[in-house]
Structure 1
Amino acid sequence: MANSARNNGPDAGDIGLALYQVLRSHGSSVPAKATAAAGLTEEEAAPGWAELESLGLIRPGRMPDEVDPIEPDTALLGLLARQREQLRTQQTALSEVLTSAESLMERYRPTVQRESAEIEVELVISDERKRQTLAEFNASITTSTGSMHPGPLPASDILAQSIKADEELVRRGIKVRAIYSQSVDSAPRQRKYLAQLSATGVEVRLAPQIPFDLLIADTHTAFMVANPENPSEAAIVVRGSALIRTYVALFEDCWLRSVPYSAQAAGTFDPDGELTEQHRTTMRLLANGLTDERIARKLGVSLRTVSRLVSEIMRYLQADSRFQAGVLAVTHGLV
């Protein structure tokens, strides 16, 4: 019978029934013996034993490791008793949920509604409305502004307008900070723009990667593109400090990971330039393919310090990636 069952691929129910019949015939038995008596291997019998246990058809025997068969009617009564207990538990849990829901709706929700009234998200589609919104954005700044730009840079006339606007902000005593992708510092027109921007008093930094375009006015308004893949499409304006805090934290993290822009050093590479021993050690570890975590352990510094060192090395070597930085370090004989 067992051989025929294996050939026909029995399901757990057939196997469970075969094991149950053995137990009914032999009484209390160690599962291994009952399995052998049914002509099954332990692997074949496993789903059958699982079914018998789930249905409540077996229980521990008087002797260690033995199991006893249970009458189906008794097993059914036990199953119904467990179900009643589960329903009572669910009813208790449901009552607790309803009590909590009332507390949330009556006590806490009004507070959030008051905060939400101070939050506004606007989708800006037309170019004219974008220009008007940016003008309003600049006029609303009172102390500081930060921006991130992954590139590529827009047309020259737009860059000229941007420099003029930033120059006006600096004249008003506004602290202006801007982060650009390192790839921006790779062509004469782009380097010229960065130099002009820096000359107006804007603090400019370069980073290996920037997630998306972002402008922040103080801590109350953020302006960003709706589709990072196509910056010329619609823009999103978010107002309200409850939401802006997240964007401020993102900007500050990118700022700490970026490298200060130097117009004098832009576009140049001096293999005999100033590099600390820490930079050179980091370059050697980069060239060997180590991760930031392993480099941090080797140098005994934090991950943030390693990120800064790697960014400075990439800026120094004019590399677009960690891999390229390692290759250039070897090429120039720096490691």
Structure 2
Amino acid sequence: MHTNEMGVFGVSPAEEHLYRHFLRHPDSPSEGLHVKLGIASHELDQAMTRLIGLRLLRPGDRAGSFVPVDPEQVVARLTEMRLREMYQEIQTLTQSRHVLTTLRAETAAPANGRPAGAYDGEHGVEEIDERADLMNRVEELVFFAREEIASVEPGFHMITDEVVNRRRGVEWRALKRGVRRRLVVPADSLRYPRASGYVRELLARGGEVRVVEDISDQLVVYDGRVALMPKDPKNADEGALMVRGRGLVSTLSGLFEKIWEQAEDVSVELREPEEPAPELSEAELRVLRMMCAVGKDETGARDLGVSVRTYRRHIADVLRVLGASTRAQAALLARERGWV
């Protein structure tokens, strides 16, 4: 019997032994297997039930037979499940700091008046409740980052002008230092101009962005040593948890990598500005069409019944709206848009 290599995924020795048997003997019956494998009958039944529930086994073509699911799919699914379980465990642990308070309350104070058991030193997890404190801490972490900043941001569509400006100030400098920046956001968030504008600028400066259809996990990992995650995933206003140390942070880094693998690159179209098409007033459209039809400003102004000065002012407005530097360029852009 193999050692319990799949134990890291929460699979028991009996379950792994049974799964490996079906890998060697696909579409074989389960009847009498407890004798063949040396497993108690009730233990085999429990293992079969869990393997089917985990989708490691599925019914075969014959009655009572089973077929193993491809190992690559199995490992990928179990990895994702285990990472999410560990993510939830970390959140539960970090929300249990109140236990320290209750334990200290049970500790009698010594004669010198100092509380017994007052431990010094840095804890692995720190709670940050105030928004201003959180913003300052984020800027500090970005400033000292030297390798990578990796984040998953499900609420990216709600990014504010204040946050955008503060992030530009520190993240752009980090990119210049050679820090890798990876960002995962929901695809729908890019429908919002502020969010899509930030993404385009980040891409232009060498950042990497991927999108997913649906995501709930929110976290940021700095250099694989420090991570930030919300105290309450459903309410970002409740504050954040700062997790330190490679041991705890490695789990969160693994979750990010899993999400990154399953995400898709931002489409090429989003790398270009997506500003709404400019509009011209009726007067400007008439000037534009006249400009393309006649050669002299005096003629165009006379035909429109306006002064030459007003006519030229309208032309200047048309060039500005179209983003053209010359009249010829404006005419070409107007034809591309079907305006003339």
Q: TM-score w.r.t. structure 1 length?
A: 0.42
